[in-house]
Amino acid sequence: MKQKEQLEGIRAEAEAALHSIETLEELDNVRVKFLGKKGDLTAVLKTMGSLSPEERPVVGQLANKIRGEITENIEKKAMELKAAQQEARLLAETIDVTLPGSPVEIGHEHPLSLVLDEVKEIFMGMGFEIAQGPEVEWDYYNFEALNIPKDHPARDTQDTFYITDNMLLRTQTSGTQIRVMEEKKPPIRMIAPGRVYRSDAVDATHSPLFHQIEGMAIDEGITMGDLVGTLETFAKKLYGSDTRIRLRPHHFPFTEPSCEIDVSCFKCGGKGCSMCKNEGWIEILGAGMIHPQVLHNGGIDPEKYSGFAFGLGLERLVMFAYEMDDMRMLYENDMRFLEQF
């Protein structure tokens, strides 16, 4: 039976071939040569027709056995070659950990955060806690509970972005007054910094997004004197001990009486300069004694308790602190500007 010899020959040849190859490509050539459709093994099987019925299964079995062996050896070799390749790559790609790294640029706080932190420090030093309210707010907290019903003219200056008829982007942090009243019992001393929104066009002094810091104190016997003392202390801490404040009568629907508060110009000391537009004074906040109805809306008895509230514009503070004349610089993320702080 020459087929038997041929098959044994193929087995030996394949073994030798596998022994000497070095790449996966060569391995594939070996597979095609011995096991492929036009390969050596198939060629032998095609001659089976000349065999006797007794011989056929014997040769068939041997052919299958050899096919199995060669296949197994090819797989083994493939694994070996892949492992060797991987090994070589790992060696070639070794990282030199002694090389100096590329420098990591460390950022720093934004001027808005720097000034906010300073303001927080000052009020925390006076026993105020930090509170927070949501930026997406109910009409109720932003307006209604602050004595600004739907048709109140004060809404004209605080047009905003509405989510629904009753839900909006808050126009002021004053809604946190009510939220804190609902949660705490007097004595209360809190400041609530955060983003507020108004549908204003962008210019040097306006932005549809800006920041306020709300402040509030409620207890038995709180008077306008406490308001003045607290904000004077704040102004002196922020701008220096020579700083004076002055109150101008104003109107807010949720405070009574209400005022706006100016600080003496920290650049010229009050003589008049370009910073204060020759006024000697710079307006920094709105304030007043919390309206009894507002206390009532917050669940606090106005017969027993009184309180003051104030609202600071953070951007204004920052712009004065760093003598900036364009608010847009605070939002543009221009590194040439931000790197200066």
Q: Which is nearer to ligand PHE, 270 or 288 (CB)?
A: 288
The least distance separating ligand PHE from the CB of residue 172, rounded to whole angstroms, comes to 4
Selected binder of ligand PHE within 133, 175, 186, 288 (CB under 6 A): 288
Paired with 246 in beta bridges are 262
CA 260 to chain centre: 35
Q: Which stretch binds ligand PHE (CB under 6 A): 23-31, 121-129, 148-156, 286-294?
A: 286-294
Looking at residue 18, its amino acid is L
Per-residue x/- track, 143-182, ligand PHE (CB under 6 A): -----------------------------x-x--------
User: Residue 254 and residue 149: Cα distance in Å, rounded?
Assistant: 11
Q: Which is nearer to ligand PHE, 174 or 243 (CB)?
A: 174
Residue 319 is a binding residue for ligand PHE (CB under 6 A): no
Does 309 engage in binding with ligand PHE (CB under 6 A)? yes
Strands 255-264 and 167-169, bridge-based pairing? unpaired
Per the omega criterion (within 30 degrees of 0), is the bond before 193 cis?
no
Name the CA dihedral angle for 295, 296, 300, 302, rounded to a multiple of 10 degrees. Answer: 70
Query: Given the DSSP bridges, would you call strands 129-130 and 188-197 parallel, antiparallel or unpaired?
Result: parallel
Are 55 and 1 spatial neighbours (Cβ–Cβ below 8 Å)?
yes
Number of residue whose CB is nearest ligand PHE: 311
In the shown chain, the binding pattern of residues 249 to 268 toward ligand PHE, with x for contact by CB under 6 A and - for none, equals ---x--x-------------
Backbone angles phi, psi at 109, to 5 degrees: -70, 145
Decide if residue 194 touches ligand PHE (CB under 6 A): no
Q: How many residues form the binding site for ligand PHE (CB under 6 A)?
A: 10
The contact set with ligand PHE (CB under 6 A) reads: 172, 174, 252, 255, 286-288, 309-311
